[in-house]
Amino acid sequence: MDWKEKREQLQAEAQERKSMRKKQRIERFETMGPFNTLDDIPDIPIMENKDDYQKIVVKNLIRCGAIPIDQLEVGARYEGTCRNASEAVWNGKQFEYKRYKFGDWIDARINHFQEDDGNDLFVPLRKR
């Protein structure tokens, strides 16, 4: 096998692994059950296609108990999950929370999971 054939073989194998990971992410979201605790909420995967993100991730997070953006109340505190917080207040556009960073508490904002901006997202589970 020459180097061109080997490269094509490796590229095909990489594409197959990528397809398998996508299939596994989809299957995980489509088969997950209701969220009873914050630990039940899975990490939100990075999806290349925004339509796939809406159809698979958003749809199934809501199906399992995450609160959709149109049901949030301005000023209400929500229990949920993101990388740096388990509680946040909805301001009508984003969630606000306190974050400990480099020895200080700072004010931080984060988007709702339906408003993916490529950064961490908050998944609200219940109003506090």
pLDDT by position in tens, the chain (length 128): 788 898 999 999 999 998 898 888 889 899 999 999 999 999 888 888 889 899 999 999 999 999 999 999 999 999 999 999 999 999 999 999 999 888 999 999 999 999 998 899 999 999 99
Report d(CA 36, CA 33) in Å as an integer.
9
Model confidence, pTM: 0.83
From residue 121, alpha-carbon distances to 4, 110, 115, 117 in Å are 42, 6, 8, 8
